[in-house]
Structure 1
Amino acid sequence: MRLLQPFIGILSLSLYVTTVAIAFLLIMPVALVKLLIPGLRRPCNQILDQIASAWIETNSLHQRLLTRTHIRLSGDIEKLSRNDWYMVIANHQSWVDIMILVRVLNRRIPYVKFFFKQELLWVPLLGQALWAIDFPVMRRHSKAQIKRNPALANEDLERTQRACEIYRHSPVTIVNFLEGTRFTPAKHRAQGETYRHLLQPKAGGLAFTLAAMNGQLRQLVDVTIAYPDGRPSFWDYACGRVRNVDMHIRVMPITDDLIGDYPGDAEFREHFQSWVNDLWREKDQRVEALINARQR
């Protein structure tokens, strides 16, 4: 089986490239109609989300056939609905996280939207497809820039509000990896190893999005992903070397005390950061429990 793994990986990558190209060809004509005829924006968005969901379903099918990764789910999976607005937060250990996340959540909740970096717009096919299906572009200023010019914080909030405005009329799921980057041992050491399995969470992006949606996001989906056999690379996953993945899902309401002026209100900022830190301590313990349960 090990001798076959590189060939499985090549076949998997070929299928990913093929499905991206097909999805792009289906998405762009609809996106062009949406751009030229604003009155058709909502029906076009529905069509685009269906295309994107079908693309995910196709990728999930060949993942199940080729990689045979077993995903063990626990928690509140039965509480999810396609008729509600969700904010999904998750730990981030590998590019595989995204593949597993959309594979599990697709068609269980409204189609997911990731904030993506502006640089990805220039990736052929993928960047244009993300733009066409209204993935919000992340262009936030750094802490140093905001410190020099506090008015930039308001610009970031306004930009996030404009990005989220299109989500107000139909149920949507917005995904935020609070660590802001994938876990590596070097990054973990540089941050002081506050958590055993996680990097420190960045609360600002989550606070900005909740404020921008102004109460429209009603449920928080706290996703914990664990790899009991070690953090894999995307190539490991494509080759079928990732045998087991654990995912725990916790659903909780987004209460009024979580919506406020994060850059301008020091008391709210301290409260929100404390709440996020508590979530992350619990998540770190949950990752440990999921790994230990597999190893018994």
Structure 2
Amino acid sequence: MVPLRIAFIFLLVALSTVVHVVPLLAVAVIKAVLPIDRLRKASNPLLTGIAESWIGINSWIVSRFFKTRFEVQHDGVLQRDGHYLVLANHQSWVDIIVLQKVFNRRIPLLRFFLKRQLFWVPLLGLAWWALDFPFMGRHTPKQIARRPELAGRDIETTRRACEKFREIPVSIMNFVEGTRFTPAKHAKQGSPYRHLLKPKSGGVAFVLDAMGQGLHAILDITIAYPAGQPSLMDLVADRVPEVQVLVRQRAIPEDLLGGDYKNDRAFRIRFQHWINGLWQEKDQDLGALLGGTLDAVADD
């Protein structure tokens, strides 16, 4: 029965993908050739609406065919027309499905910074391009040491993306650890956190610098899987009994706006200290969620 279930779920998702990606690409192509900027901007709500419908169908599949229980706690009022920077821990591809299910049509469409190689994923890569998801090089420190200009390319990509995001309601998604958590990566890093990898603050700093006062708030998301870190196949096979999600809405520190993260060492240290403080609290929250001991926070 499990193989049949998996095949059926993948068929539903594939059908939903085709049904939504084809019109999404059609609108994106029309947008690209429109000669007037005002008309191009007018197509953005249509693109967003198609993407939200796509996510909505996928979320319905999760609710209808999976027994997974979603427990969500948050301490603020969410706005569909807001401008958010969304920070989260990262354990699995399931994280993205969780985030989309929890936040679809409650905040603006989540837009992720993606590895450049993901552009070549059939259908999905083109869909992400149509929705203005930024594609990043994600170069290793050794590559950047040999070719310093590579670091500048990702900074420029971030800047261009944020210029577009100023004009539309947006939720800019950043998995601050930069990669999915595994015990091996945790040990290799010598991470000071029990449940998390070390945070990478550069991308967050560049977004705050580029967006400036255009962001309303930070949504600090902690995702926990009490039954263990799942794979995407675990979710499809209905082997994920529970997901815990904690949302802390945070004000953007005024003293961290307008600094030069790349060239100002004192500012960079101050910014990293702030991120490390968030991660320390997140590590404690994650431990409490996994242990079922977190006190409830206010729900709107």
TM-based fold match above 0.5: yes
TM-score by length of 2: 0.92
Give the structure 1 partner of residue 184 of structure 2. Answer: 186
Shift of 1:59: 0.4
Shift of 1:165: 1.1
TM-score by length of 1: 0.93
- How many residue pairs are counted as aligned between the two chains? 291
**Over residues 206-251 of structure 1, what are the superposed CA-to-partner deviations in whole Å (9 max), with x where a residue is unaligned?**
1111112232122100000000000011001011111100000000
**Over residues 83-137 of structure 1, what are the superposed CA-to-partner deviations in whole Å (9 max), with x where a residue is unaligned?**
2100000000111000000100111101110011111111111101100111111
Give the structure 1 partner of residue 28 of structure 2. Answer: 31
**Over residues 156-215 of structure 1, what are the superposed CA-to-partner deviations in whole Å (9 max), with x where a residue is unaligned?**
322211122111112110000001111111111111142111111111111111112232
Give the structure 1 partner of residue 87 of structure 2. Answer: 89
Question: 1:1-296 maps to which residues of 2 (within 5 A)?
Answer: 4-39=1-36, 40-76=39-75, 78-147=76-145, 153-259=151-257, 260-293=259-292
Shift of 1:13: 1.6
Shift of 1:144: 3.8
C-alpha contact 2:218 2:250 (8 A) present in aligned 1? yes
| Distance change (3 Å), C-alpha of 1:148 and 1:257 | farther
Secondary structure at the aligned position of 2:165 is classed as coil
Taking the aligned partners of 1:141 and 1:232, their CA distance within structure 2 comes to 27
Structure 1 gap ranges (5+): none
Taking the aligned partners of 2:155 and 2:181, their CA distance within structure 1 comes to 27
Taking the aligned partners of 1:294 and 1:245, their CA distance within structure 2 comes to 15
Structure 2 gap ranges (5+): 295-300
Taking the aligned partners of 1:148 and 1:265, their CA distance within structure 2 comes to 22
Q: Which is worse superposed, 205-214 or 279-288?
A: 205-214
Taking the aligned partners of 1:153 and 1:122, their CA distance within structure 2 comes to 22
Taking the aligned partners of 2:169 and 2:35, their CA distance within structure 1 comes to 19
**Over residues 42-76 of structure 1, what are the superposed CA-to-partner deviations in whole Å (9 max), with x where a residue is unaligned?**
12111000000000000000111111211001122
Taking the aligned partners of 1:8 and 1:46, their CA distance within structure 2 comes to 35
Taking the aligned partners of 1:38 and 1:288, their CA distance within structure 2 comes to 53
Taking the aligned partners of 2:272 and 2:115, their CA distance within structure 1 comes to 23
Taking the aligned partners of 1:142 and 1:22, their CA distance within structure 2 comes to 37
**RMSD over aligned Cα, in angstroms?**
1.8
Shift of 1:153: 4.4
**Letter of the 1:52 counterpart:** A
C-alpha contact 2:134 2:157 (8 A) present in aligned 1? no
- In the TM superposition, structure 1's runs of 4+ consecutive aligned residues that sit over 6 Å from their partners are none
Taking the aligned partners of 1:47 and 1:63, their CA distance within structure 2 comes to 25
